[in-house]
Amino acid sequence: MSARDIGGARIEGVRRRGKQIFVDLDRGVLSIHLGMTGKLLWNGVPGKYARAIFELDRGTLVYDDIRQLGRVEFHPTLPKRFERLGPDALGIGFDEFYGRLRKRRGHVKAVLLNQTFLAGVGNIYADETLFAARVHPHASVARISKARAQRLHASLRQTLETAVEFRGSSISSYVDSNGARGGFQQMHQVYARTGEPCFVCGALIRRIVVAQRGTHYCPHCQRL
């Protein structure tokens, strides 16, 4: 993407699906993904890690990203890969959730992280959801009962809604567009609590690796 692509473009709308942000322009679409350390700062001062600066009529939007796992791309037409994104994790009802779950195989945590299953569940929220639902991250999706699926669905919604309310988890450096840190990290029950006692039963939280991601769970509360 270069300034030539979007200079003078008119913004016609802004949408979000999971972690993906879409800015509809009169000549295409801007897709933005914050990755892990990406930030969009409204009227922020561009610092050492500013990767893109958008001069708008009413202010300046700075895209800042320390680890550069995020992306800002311009597309004249939206690529097919975005069509593969699942429905937004916050909006899905139980029937659709259960129907989609039944078509999947493998470890439940890997499925939760898969953005074609649902869009929007990252590593922290997968761990926190599984703890709230009392489901072991290694549980096989094929063997999840409808009752447990209901707990998973309810826990996912609860976890994400609370996280949004607290404006996210500022683990490394996340801040919102006003530069404010999130507060959800203080609510974490298992994430990054390896070796510490479970708040419910006192058992020590364990860390394993599932789907190449650090995975935290209570060996007593969460069952296969």
d(Cα 124, Cα 112) in Å, to the nearest integer? 11
Between 56 and 142, whose beta carbon lies closer to DNA?
A: 142
In angstroms, how far is the first alpha carbon of the chain from the final one? 46
d(Cα 130, Cα 109) in Å, to the nearest integer? 8
Between 56 and 69, whose beta carbon lies closer to DNA?
A: 69
19, 154 contact by CB (below 8 A): no
Q: Which of 113, 111, 131, 110 is nearest to 192 (CA)?
A: 131
Between 45 and 58, whose beta carbon lies closer to DNA?
A: 45
Question: CB of residue 199 vs DNA: minimum separation in angstroms?
Answer: 19
- Cα 62 to chain centroid distance, Å, stands at 21
Positions touching DNA (CB under 7 A) are 18-20, 33, 35-37, 48-49, 66-69, 81, 104-107, 110, 113, 115, 122-124, 191, 207, 211-214
Question: CB of residue 79 vs DNA: minimum separation in angstroms?
Answer: 9
Residue 23, helix vs strand vs coil = strand
Residue 74, helix vs strand vs coil = strand
Question: CB of residue 89 vs DNA: minimum separation in angstroms?
Answer: 11
Between 19 and 157, whose beta carbon lies closer to DNA?
A: 19
Question: CB of residue 39 vs DNA: minimum separation in angstroms?
Answer: 13
